[in-house]
Structure 1
Amino acid sequence: MKKWQVLSSAALLTLTLAACGAEEEAADKSTATNSAETTETAQFPLTQTDALGKEITIEKAPERIISLIPSNTEILFGLGIDEQIIAVNDNDNYPEAALAKEKVGGMEFNLEQIIALQPDLVLAHESNLYSFNEEAIAQLEAIGITVFVVKDAKTFEETYTTIEKIGQMTNKVQQAADMITSIKTGIDEIEVKVADLEEKSVFIVVGTAPDLYAAGQETFINEMLEVLDVENAVPELGWPMYSTEQFVASNPDAILVTYESDIEAIQTNDAYSEMDAVKNDQVKLVDGDTTSRQGPRIVEGIESLAEAIYPEAFNE
């Protein structure tokens, strides 16, 4: 072989090796980038604004957490946090692991018990404030216990923000992002499924004794109805009380209740006997937990409503 051929071969080999090395380096960088994206972490100390408008600083990812409402608990477990949860609300029933946690109260909370457990983070809720008030919060903060009051979300977007904040405070940023993506994907799939279904009107009863209360506009469960393209027969905002006359006049296609006892209360009341939903046996029970808790089971809540309203499409 001639000398110039040897040199050319050597040069070609060098260039080939260099190209391979560049490709491997690029692949390594891509892998590193993807790894960074899937292991995103929070930066501590971290400051978040809670539902009271207070700036709460978290010095490090909490190791001892008390959750005072089921929705917060479901978010924490959904983020993969178990060991750090040391106590929960008396009404926590999901996931099953929550049942084994120490309980610190349901409507009222045992402040002495909370203090004795020495949490480094108490996740309260805006709806708790009638019992777990600012005085109780100040008492805990005075001895160095961090309290974060979670907003009482009225929309999915507000719930996503809550999930993001809890994810950041617990150093589960990527898990929070994944949870939100999963919820949005599930909602998209349901919207496709109901796109061609006949629109119906629905009245959601949230209690009948001693007075009948309904779920109106700008409530969490109303947004679930919007996903299903269902008309809420209650035009008022919030949770209005309805008289017998108002309820009968609403005459929806379906009546949904969140307590099983309310089915009989409605079906056996002679005043309601001429309502279309009563005559057509369209008084149905829906899951009161998933339709009210602002957490990771939003899709399950929508599906519970859908199965009652459109059994032909969702009870397959």
Structure 2
Amino acid sequence: MTVVDGLGKSIVIEKQPQRISSKTLFTDAVLLDLVDDASLSSLTDLAINPNYSLIIDRLPDGVPLLGLNIEMIIANRPDILFAANWSDPAKLSILESAGITVFRLQAPKNINEIEAEIARVGQIVNKNAQAQQIITTMRSRLKADIISTEHKLTGMDYNPWGTSSGQDSSWNGLLEQANVVNIIKDYATDKYGQVPISKEMIIALNPEVLFIPAWVYGDDNTASKFKQDVLSDPSLQSVSAIKHNRVYQVPHALRGVYSQYYVDAIRFINHSVYK
């Protein structure tokens, strides 16, 4: 089988992989629903971190949790390793030189791209029916769990470093699926999908809903302090989201999710706003 990875490179899969190494949280989550635990040679070290992982209670005993550790991965001898398209290219090149097939995944930005990546992983590990079942379950949950509304509120995320997420971001897809209008989706973004935001812009845009982080890397107190700063800032008291108490902290594990658990992030946003 020949498949094209997230960098546009053709990868030849000579036979069904029996030992699989996952180096993304996306493939950690997907593979746990696709293959037997015995087929997993390792998952990511972030899989056990509550700030990033939604699968802590599903981690199988005996499967190592490894970062991109060349020596340990080679010692595990996986047939294939799933990595992100932004993973360290030098390390991945060494693994390929050692005879390990490396598949780099594109980071999906909306639910359609997530479904396509799940299907692609299912194809690679020869679990097409199981991959389709994941997708079917996602769609069923969206239909059953998401509150519909004729009047969609306007909203945006706001980070301590002064940015918000625009059109070219996974966050924009989350808001669309959660029936919230991303008020800055038409603003120009940087290569990470971010838009620089000032307090003056927030006042002018006047979002009805504001989403802020529940955790910030590097300091466990930053998120709570930022929330208090936003809520108590005299200059922001006229903003609809603050005036009507519609400021919500989003858990980081949901904020950055790309797997089938994207539906949980959509549900969190939708129910926070409309329930």
TM value normalised by structure 2: 0.84
Superposed displacement of residue 48, structure 1: 0.9
Equivalent residues in 2 for 1:13-32, closer than 5 Å = none
> Of residues 97, 115, 119 in structure 2, which corresponds to 1:142?
97
2:243: which partner in 1?
A: 279
User: Contact conserved, 2:157 with 2:165, CA < 8 A, in 1?
Assistant: yes
Higher gyration radius (CA): 1
User: Contact conserved, 1:125 with 1:152, CA < 8 A, in 2?
Assistant: yes
User: Contact conserved, 1:153 with 1:220, CA < 8 A, in 2?
Assistant: yes
Equivalent residues in 2 for 1:148-167, closer than 5 Å = 148-167=103-122
In structure 1, C-alpha distance between the alignment counterparts of 2:7 and 2:244, rounded to whole Å: 46
1:102: which partner in 2?
A: 64
> Of residues 136, 149, 153 in structure 2, which corresponds to 1:200?
153
In structure 1, C-alpha distance between the alignment counterparts of 2:228 and 2:77, rounded to whole Å: 46
The alignment partner of 1:123 has SS state of strand
User: Contact conserved, 2:54 with 2:261, CA < 8 A, in 1?
Assistant: no
User: Contact conserved, 1:285 with 1:308, CA < 8 A, in 2?
Assistant: no
Identity %: 25
Equivalent residues in 2 for 1:83-232, closer than 5 Å = 83-92=38-47, 93-95=53-55, 96-98=57-59, 101-105=63-67, 109-126=68-85, 128-129=86-87, 132-133=88-89, 135-190=90-145, 193-196=147-150, 198-205=151-158, 207-208=159-160, 211-232=161-182
Superposed displacement of residue 84, structure 1: 1.8
The alignment partner of 1:83 has SS state of helix
In structure 2, C-alpha distance between the alignment counterparts of 1:102 and 1:265, rounded to whole Å: 41
The alignment partner of 1:74 has SS state of helix
In structure 1, C-alpha distance between the alignment counterparts of 2:234 and 2:59, rounded to whole Å: 42
Q: Comparing both structures, which one devotes a greater share of its residues to helix?
A: 1
> Of residues 35, 51, 55 in structure 1, which corresponds to 2:10?
55
In structure 2, C-alpha distance between the alignment counterparts of 1:65 and 1:148, rounded to whole Å: 11
In structure 1, C-alpha distance between the alignment counterparts of 2:204 and 2:64, rounded to whole Å: 47
Superposed displacement of residue 291, structure 1: 4.2
Larger mean CA deviation between 176-185 and 55-64 belongs to 55-64
Structure 2 unmatched runs, 5+:
48-52, 216-222
User: Contact conserved, 2:202 with 2:239, CA < 8 A, in 1?
Assistant: no
1:32: which partner in 2?
A: none
User: Contact conserved, 2:122 with 2:130, CA < 8 A, in 1?
Assistant: yes
User: Contact conserved, 1:272 with 1:278, CA < 8 A, in 2?
Assistant: yes
Note the alpha carbon deviations across 1:266-299, whole angstroms, 9 max, x for none. 2233443332212222111234323432211122
In structure 1, C-alpha distance between the alignment counterparts of 2:124 and 2:79, rounded to whole Å: 12
User: Contact conserved, 1:263 with 1:284, CA < 8 A, in 2?
Assistant: no
1:12: which partner in 2?
A: none
In structure 1, C-alpha distance between the alignment counterparts of 2:8 and 2:18, rounded to whole Å: 25
User: Contact conserved, 1:78 with 1:296, CA < 8 A, in 2?
Assistant: no
1:308: which partner in 2?
A: 272
* Structure 2 residue identity aligned to 1:290: L
In structure 2, C-alpha distance between the alignment counterparts of 1:84 and 1:290, rounded to whole Å: 27
**CA 1:90–1:274 in structure 2 vs 1: closer, same or farther (change >3 Å)?**
farther
In structure 1, C-alpha distance between the alignment counterparts of 2:251 and 2:60, rounded to whole Å: 19
Cα-Cα RMSD: 2.1
In structure 1, C-alpha distance between the alignment counterparts of 2:202 and 2:46, rounded to whole Å: 30
Structure 1 unmatched runs, 5+:
1-45, 312-316
Q: Which runs of 4+ in 1 moved over 6 A?
A: none
Higher relative contact order (CA 8 A, sep 6+): 2
In structure 1, C-alpha distance between the alignment counterparts of 2:20 and 2:115, rounded to whole Å: 20
Q: How many residues align?
A: 254
User: Contact conserved, 1:70 with 1:89, CA < 8 A, in 2?
Assistant: yes
2:250 is the counterpart of 1:297: no
